[in-house]
Amino acid sequence: MEIPGLEVKREEESLDLSYAFDVETVPTLLRFENGEVVERTVGWNRDIWRKITGVADLGEGLPEHRPGCGSRALDFPKPVDTSHLASRRVTIGSQEDDIEACIARGWSDGLPVVPPTPARVARMLTGTHRDAQEIVAVIPPDLAECTVEKVAVNAVLAGCEPSYMPVVLAAVEAACTDEFNMHGLLATTYFSGPVIVVNGPIAKRIGMNSGVNALGQGNRANSSIGRALQLVIRNVGGGRPGGVDRATLGNPGKLSFCFAEDEANSPWEGLAEEHGVEGDAVTLFCGEGPRGVVDQISRTPESLAKSFAVCLRTVAHPKLVLGFDAMLIVSPEHASRFKEAGWTKQRLRDEIYANLNFPGAELIRGAQGIEEGLPEGFKDATLPKFTPNGLLIVHAGGGAGLFSAIVGGWVAGETGSKPVTRAIT
């Protein structure tokens, strides 16, 4: 707008200044001293503009106030520097659809992906202070070195926002530890894939879901963070179904299985804190798809703990013990039973374990007319379902519904996988 008494020295066409000084409204007035912005005002207000400029008759004849309008800088993405990117550029033909081109080149998990243009990758990297060429991990099965930039490429493909990058990076680091054994998890014919549980303030800050439908669809952070990890394993490490990934059936969670723990309303300490990491953290667990636990009648913690125990007995097979871990996801309504009784998480775990000790005679091969089971040598033993650290307990879910969930694990211990917790930096 024309402002009588003010000489316009420059009319910007490139929007460089608008981007540089975060101009979102036109007009915006900036006052500089020694090259630094010391005062600014948005929209037109005659008294304020006169005060900032020192021009006593500025805007004579104009209305006292006008709010202004949106800057053109809001209509176009802010340019980002892509010169520091080291990844190979792939040229897409002028007649190719970029999403279809990504799928045709094998970069997808079966769903459409976001094409990782240099500008998108550069923007994704703004979500972390780590150097783009820092090695995050060596990715199985091909044991390929993976940089922060390569993680960003796959985070773009997955549909992440830049603010998710610290969580994705921590998940990649945790997945590629010897304890988690990502290579073994890929090669097994079992159902399992990585399950990511996020703790700490970052979960709320980036908008993760720990409540209604926490294990389901509809939340961008939950869905894309888990997907990004899987795409890193696929595209950097070469872990593809039908190749090294030999799952007989798999499970839908192998697309993405990621959620936040509801720590604010939990009666217990969070999962990461249990594993010695306070604040922002991820815990990775090798898990199959969730199965429901229905108990709408139990009003005492003892009864509900027994319900959990009989359902947990079915993990892998009721006659197989000590070989598989599990995660129990307790919903708020079920958790209230234990909160009201003053039960700690360890008390709940102990009660569950007390109901999961079985005579070997019930577990051996042929017992109950079932050929599956333990060798004959265990006939006279009494055996627990899980190892001492083999049951993880997490609090999540909507406030209504007397339902919890079990996520059965993969082979436990040295021959399989251990849960891994890593701080998010």
Closest CA to 395 of 282, 200, 264, 258: 264
Give the pLDDT score at 227.
98
What whole-number distance in Å separates Cα of residue 89 and Cα of residue 12?
32
pLDDT in tens, 354-387: 999 999 999 999 999 999 999 999 999 999 999 9
The residue among 74, 94, 110 that closes a domain is 74
Same domain? For 310 and 371 the reply is yes
Work out the pLDDT band at 21, boundaries 50, 70, 90. confident
- pLDDT for the residue 342: 98
Pick the last residue of a domain from 59, 74, 89: 74
Same structural domain, 58 and 157: no
**pLDDT, tens digit, 9 for 90 and up, residues 68-87:** 888 887 777 677 889 899 99
48 with 146, same domain: the answer is: no
For 314-330, what is each residue's pLDDT tens digit?
999 999 999 999 999 99
Q: Does 123 share its domain with 66?
A: no
> Could you tell me if 334 and 412 lie in one domain?
yes
Q: What is the predicted pLDDT for the residue at 128?
A: 97
**Does residue 394 surpass a pLDDT of 70?**
yes
Tell me what percent of the residues of the chain surpass a pLDDT of 90: 86
360/233 same-domain check: yes
* pLDDT on residue 414: 84
Statement: residue 19 has pLDDT above 90: no
- Please check whether residue 45 lies inside any domain of the structure: yes
Q: Is 411 domain-assigned?
A: yes
28 and 149 inside one domain: no
**Interatomic CA distance for residues 340 and 133, integer angstroms:** 51
Q: Is residue 248 part of a domain?
A: yes
pLDDT over threshold 60, residue 9: no
**Domain for residue 63, yes or no?**
yes
Together in a domain, 205 and 336: yes
Q: Percent of the chain beyond pLDDT 70?
A: 97
Q: Are residues 314 and 171 in the same domain?
A: yes
Higher pLDDT, 125 or 9: 125
In a domain, 65, yes or no: yes
Examine residue 34 and state whether it is found in any structural domain, yes or no. Answer: yes
Question: What per-residue confidence (pLDDT) applies to 4?
Answer: 63
| Residue at 104 is within a domain | no
How high is the pLDDT of residue 295?
Answer: 98
- The CA angle 196-405-230, to the nearest 5 degrees, is 25
Q: What is the domain extent for residue 56?
A: 16-74
> What pLDDT score does 8 carry?
56
The answer to whether 124 touches 156, Cβ cutoff 8 Å, is yes
Residue 372 shares a structural domain with residue 303? yes
- pLDDT band, very low/low/confident/very high, at 118 (cuts 50, 70, 90): very high
- Same domain for 60 and 195, yes or no, is no
Q: Does residue 5 surpass a pLDDT of 80?
A: no
pLDDT at 3: 61
pLDDT at 170: 98
Res. 6: pLDDT tops 80: no
The structural domain count of the chain equals 2
Inter-residue contact 332 to 340 (CB < 8 Å): no
Structural domain includes residue 7: no
Confidence label for 13 from pLDDT (cuts 50, 70 and 90): low
Note whether 20 and 154 are same-domain residues: no
Question: Which band of pLDDT confidence, cut at 50, 70 and 90, is reported for residue 129?
Answer: very high
Tens digit of each residue's pLDDT (9 = 90 or more) over 263-311: 999 999 999 999 999 999 999 999 999 999 999 999 999 999 999 999 9
Domain boundary among 74, 91, 107: 74
- pLDDT (tens digit, 9 = 90+) per residue, 193-244? 999 999 999 999 999 999 999 999 999 999 999 999 999 999 999 999 999 9
Average pLDDT of the chain to the nearest whole number: 94
